[in-house]
Amino acid sequence: MEIFDVAIVGGGPAGSSCAAFCALAGLRTLVLEREKFPREKVCGDCLNPSCWPVLQRLGLAQRVRDLPHSKLASVEFIAIDGRKVVVDLPTGEWCELSVKRSLFDDLLLRRARELRAHVREGTTVTALNCSHGPVARPGRDAPQRRGYRGDWRIETATGERFSARTLVGADGRNSTVARLCNLLPRPARERVALQAHIPLPRNFGRRVVLQFLPEGYSGQAPVNETELNLCLVGTPPTISRLRRWAERYFEITSDQPWRTITP
């Protein structure tokens, strides 16, 4: 069994940056990521300007700017009745930009690996055991405790086992770590999200659009010179109508592939 100072479940931006900083601090670090990178993610693809100091500390600021992207100048809110509010975004080197998650996330995970974090992709965590508590498995009760710290045992779907002094759950909205440790009850959700990259409409400009509609809302942002990130958020009864609206509004075909997040 391999032993680590820190084990991080989830290799997205939170997990990768955590792993990179742990590795920089000299900690023996493990990242367990369920997917194989690069992969797309349902997301608006917009990078908040507050991220730049973090990326600079990781030596990634220029490498992010070198990725295909779009610099965003404003955010436009469109009400259901068509009224608009436009807010200017920061300019200069630390501006807001949009970049595909497949590119951004892969760069961060590669940086963690460059800094000698041990990265295991295509790895699903199935069981956790802490010396301060019993095994936490699906279907078994786990103690209602927060801030576990101790000797962790981690088991994966392929039977691999790892040990770590500290465990970090960075595996997102349906966190396996939170579920196995019974730390985060699954909330009731009814919203559904769709996302696609479609041809960039002419004269769209360097803007983010948040458009409110009777059925839900849409987010739109260019991610490079030729593609638009299009997101739709609604409920199970309304999402098909939102999709038909998008097909008409953006002149896309009904066989356009969409990525989905469901409750």
Q: 31 with 133, same domain?
A: yes
Same domain assignment for residues 173 and 212: no
- pTM listed for this prediction: 0.89
Quickly tell me which residue has 């966190």 as its tokens: 175
Does any domain span residue 55? no
CATH code, domain carrying 199: 3.30.9.100
- 137 and 259 share one domain: no
Task: Indicate which CATH number applies to the domain containing 26.
Answer: 3.50.50.60
C-alpha of 118 from chain center: 20
- Domain boundary among the residues 150, 181, 212 is at 181
Beta strands 74-78 and 207-213: pairing type? parallel
Task: Check residue 132 and give its pLDDT.
Answer: 66
The per-residue pLDDT for range 39-62, each reduced to its tens digit, is: 999 999 999 999 999 999 999 999
Contact 19, 80 (CB under 8 A): no
- Tell the residue number behind the tokens 């991080």, with chain if given: 8
Q: Report how far apart the first and last C-alpha atoms of the chain are (Å, whole number).
A: 36
Q: Please report, as a single letter, which amino acid is at residue 169.
A: G
- Let me know whether 145 and 196 are in one domain: no
Residue 11 has pLDDT above 90, yes or no: yes
Q: Is residue 109 part of a domain?
A: no
Question: pLDDT class for 2, splitting at 50, 70, 90?
Answer: confident
Residue 102 located in a structural domain:
no
Q: String of b and e for 147-185 (b: at least 16 CB within 10 Å)?
A: ebeeebbbbbeeeeebbbebbbbbbbeebbbbbbbebee
Residues 24 and 77 in one domain: no
For residues 171 and 155, state if they share a domain. Answer: yes
Phi, psi of 179 (to 5 degrees): -70, -45
pLDDT tens track for 94-136: 999 999 999 999 999 999 999 999 999 999 999 999 986 544 4
Mean pLDDT of the chain: 92
How confident is the model at residue 135, as a pLDDT? Answer: 46
Domains contained in the chain, number: 2
Strands (E), the chain: 2-9, 29-32, 46-47, 70-72, 74-78, 84-88, 96-98, 118-120, 125-130, 152-156, 161-169, 192-199, 207-213, 216-222, 227-234, 259-261
Q: What is the pLDDT of residue 173?
A: 84
Residue 248 CB coordination number (10 Å): 8
Domain containing 9 equals: 2-37+115-181
Q: Is 128 helix (H, G, I), strand (E, B) or coil?
A: strand
Write down the pLDDT at residue 183.
84
103 within a domain of the structure (yes/no): no
Same-domain pairing of 82 and 126: no
Residue 153 lies in a domain: yes
In angstroms, the CA 116 to CA 29 distance is 8
Provide the pLDDT for residue 45. Answer: 98
pLDDT at position 143, please?
44
Strand partners, 153: 129, 163
120 and 19 belong to one structural domain: yes
Q: Is the pLDDT of residue 10 over 60?
A: yes
Residues 31, 11: contact at Cβ < 8 Å?
A: yes
Q: Are residues 163 and 252 in the same domain?
A: no
Report pLDDT for 150. Answer: 58
128 plus 160 within the same structural domain: yes
Question: Is residue 232 within 8 Å of residue 198, measured between CB atoms?
Answer: no
> In the chain, what are the helix, strand and coil shares in percent, each to the nearest 5?
20, 35, 45
Last residue of a domain, one of 181, 199, 229: 181
Asked if residue 155 has pLDDT above 50, the reply is yes
Non-local (6+) Cβ contacts of 81 within 8 A are none
Last residue of a domain, one of 160, 181, 202: 181
Query: Which residue type does 68 have?
Result: P
Both 33 and 120 in one domain: the answer is: yes
